Chain A
Amino acid sequence: MSMKLNQKSITMKTLVLTMALALFFSLFSCVDNTKKAEYDSAADIPVSREMVAELTSPPNVPTPVGRRKAKKLIVNMEILEQEGTMTDGTTYNYWTFGGSVPGSFIRTRIGDEVEFTLSNHPDNKLPHNIDLHAVTGPGGGATSSFVAPGHEKKFNFKTLNPGLYVYHCATAPVGMHIANGMYGLILVEPEGGLPKVDKEYYIMQGDFYTKGENGDPGLQAFDMQKAVDEDADYVVFNGSVGALTGDNAITANVGETVRLYVGNGGPNLVSSFHVIGEIFDKVQVEGGDLINENVQTTLVPAGGAAIVEFRVDVPGTFILVDHSIFRAFNKGALGMLKVNGEEDKKIYSGVVQEGIYQPEGGGIQEMPDDGKTKVVASSSKTLAEKMESGKQIYMQTCFACHQAEGQGIPNAFPPLANSDYLNADVNRAIDIILKGKTGEITVNGVTYNSVMTRQAISNDEIADVMTYIYNSWGNNKTNVTKAQVDQVKSGH
């Protein structure tokens, strides 16, 4: 009996021990589980408490979510139709989310339940709505947020997929609403937030279509036909030319890691986003999970985004461009990142030595003479000969700035065609070619403030090219002689 009891107690003990062990392990495994993936689906993530979302206008972004739990996030977005500056002297009637183009940046984390209120200002003329690409649901919220001026609409959504998403207006005509600036970015951070970086900025590209050409002054109306033809007058970062240059440039210090949230509102053009003089250490391709490393230029589709990260190692000004490069230099898609700090000559030396390149030994070198451009003294040429030679020189030397038909480039290089400034004083014009010209001049009523360098061409060539210019495009048909150029050069 006692033996039996004893046996039983041993059995009991073993059982208890086993159970305790099992419990112990199961507890452990439980802890382990919470560390990895708490929920099978983002839809199951519970929210605690309410929080009003911080919204920022570009190029700023709200505070990172860090380790905060999923919350009920209140987003209040106001739609404003308002006039703003496109470029110096040119204004545009922008339609905006939150008073800026792109609209306010919205920062959420996965599992947040967003309560979105869209208010349409009473002074606005049109109904609007919002389609957030971060929303899982019909129209991305567009159906539920269609709101008349002077009214507001509220809808809720839960963020299920981490990433960087575009939002935009989707009211008819959709293209026009987007073309007028109705787009922005919403970020959904993963559990625990994105890795910490030193600087974060918000940049979004958009194309604009105006009645007048690029640079035409005054309030410019939207041009539907150009938009349909995808013939953009402006391609810009953050809604206007110069929104990210000069005093508006974004900044960082040497050694810091910079993260750019780059979006593209379109409506039409795809962006080849590039920072001149930097290589992206990390790109979250299309704003999703895929990470690419060591990227020079990343494609940002219209209605899409990308997150790029890079460490800045040397000081200087780094230019942000759409590497469809005419957009950058002729339509405005250009921004600046100014980096301050100590130089690191090992990484970038700057100019070490300047020298003269003499492939054929010493002495002053002439460009090899191919026999075609045999210089004939200007005085002995006929007008036709001078025109021909002048045209050749023009296409080599002047064309880049003053353009093929002498039309110049608005705001940068004055026209030579029909130019009052040119026709008023031949000697002054010769002098400019000889010595260059810096500072303000007024041509045909428009003020230019630019630089023309001294042109290294012979007096003969100056005579020819001047004759060509004066006998083209409605100018006063002066026949410039070499003697005249010589005279100006010698100071008379």
Chain B
Amino acid sequence: MNTVLRLTICTLFFWVTNANCQSKMVSIKGGTYIPLYGRDSSQVTISDFQMDVYPVTNQEYLDFVNKYPKWKRSEVKKLFADGNYLIDWKSDIELSDKQSLNAPITNISWFAANDYCECQGKRLPTIDEWEYVAMANKTMPDARKLKTYNEFILGWYEKPKTFNNAIGSTFKNYWNVYDLHGLVWEWTSDFNSVLISGESRKDVDNDSNLFCGSAAIGATDLMNYAAFMRYAIRGSLKAKYTMKNLGFRCVSDKKILE
């Protein structure tokens, strides 16, 4: 009840005030694909939806915190965010000197990210939605078998401290979405639905039929590695966890007027 009320208020608030703080969204045309790794290895169908072009920035989150004081660092419920929540901020409403307003917000929990999106009248993407958009490179909707695509992702895993780079500093993909790879990890609504035991060698056995859609062995190996790491990070998370390399973006089923 409370949530519904809050959502209504949020939504109302949003409709009433001007929406200039609303980040830009683009349309994603739905389709069917086989995720690399999932609850089962069957095909997944994605409906049309809208996705934020960029991850949510420090500036946007600062505005959010100002509007909803319960998400201030000093006031946040420990149940909803761990001890590292916004840990680098100078105060409740100030970034540190090292953080740029234009960089993606990180050190936020799933609860915070989820609430942020709800308050914008949006929601967090599902793993399947996120992976669907993220398998595109600049020109192709599904570039997973390309060596260059996988090398770019693996390369990022090795680059330290990318969390303070500005949004839009990586490539624009086929769907006109930026920064899915190369900036920060991103929360998804059902991040914990794929069970990774932590003993990843054991996990390997369970999905031997996952990669049957692939043709080139070499490409698949790289593809597996790139995806494994993403699923591994998701598997290591709990909803109250916050991480310096973990941000988020929102999606919406309907077009939101700007």
Contact = CB atoms under 8 A, between A and B. Distances in A.
To the question of whether A and B form a pair in one complex, the answer is yes
B49 interface: no
Interface stretch (A168-176, A235-243, A357-365, A471-479): A168-176
Contact of A122 (B203, B222, B244): B244
B241 A125 contact: no
Interface string B84-97: 10010000000000
Interface string A282-297: 0000000000000000
B236 A150 contact: no
B160 A172 contact: no
Contacts, number: 102
B160 A146 contact: no
A222 interface: yes
A129 B233 contact: no
A457 to B, nearest CB: 48
Contacts of A142: 198-201
B160 A126 contact: no
B162 to A, nearest CB: 8
Contact of B236 (A148, A221, A224): A148
B242 A150 contact: yes
A228 B154 CA distance: 14
Given A122-B244, A150-B243, A129 B198 contact: yes
B218 interface: yes
B202 interface: yes
Contacts of B228: 172-173
Contact of A127 (B158, B159, B235): B235
A126 to B, nearest CB: 6
A271 interface: no
A144 interface: yes
B210 interface: no
A187 B198 CA distance: 25
B244 A149 contact: yes
A476 to B, nearest CB: 38
A171 B228 CA distance: 9
B244 A143 contact: no
Contacts of B76: none
Contact of B161 (A123, A138, A139): A123
User: Which of under 10, 10 to 19, 20 to 34, or 35 or more describes the interface residues of B?
Assistant: 35 or more
A65 B115 CA distance: 54
A146 B198 contact: yes
The winner among B158, B232, B233 for most chain A CB atoms within 10 A is B158
Nearest to B88: A122
Given A122-B84, A172-B203, A172-B228, A222 B197 contact: no
A139 B157 contact: no
User: Which of under 10, 10 to 19, 20 to 34, or 35 or more describes the interface residues of A?
Assistant: 20 to 34
Contact of A81 (B154, B160, B198, B232): B160
A93 B162 CA distance: 14
Contacts of B160: 81-83, 93, 123, 125
A139 B204 CA distance: 13
A228 B224 CA distance: 13
B198 A224 contact: no
Contact of A170 (B199, B222, B241): B199
A433 B137 CA distance: 55
A171 to B, nearest CB: 6
Given A81-B160, A172-B200, A222-B158, A147 B229 contact: no
B115 to A, nearest CB: 21
B158 A174 contact: no
Nearest to B161: A123
B40 interface: no
A353 B224 CA distance: 64
Contact of B202 (A127, A139, A149, A150): A139
Given A122-B84, A139-B198, A145-B198, 11 more contacts: A124-B245, A127-B232, A139-B199, A139-B202, A143-B199, A147-B236, A170-B201, A173-B228, A221-B155, A224-B221, A228-B218
24 contacts: A82-B160, A93-B158, A125-B157, A125-B160, A126-B157, A127-B235, A142-B198, A143-B199, A145-B198, A146-B196, A146-B235, A148-B236, A148-B241, A149-B245, A170-B199, A170-B200, A171-B198, A172-B225, A173-B200, A173-B224, A173-B229, A174-B200, A222-B154, A225-B218
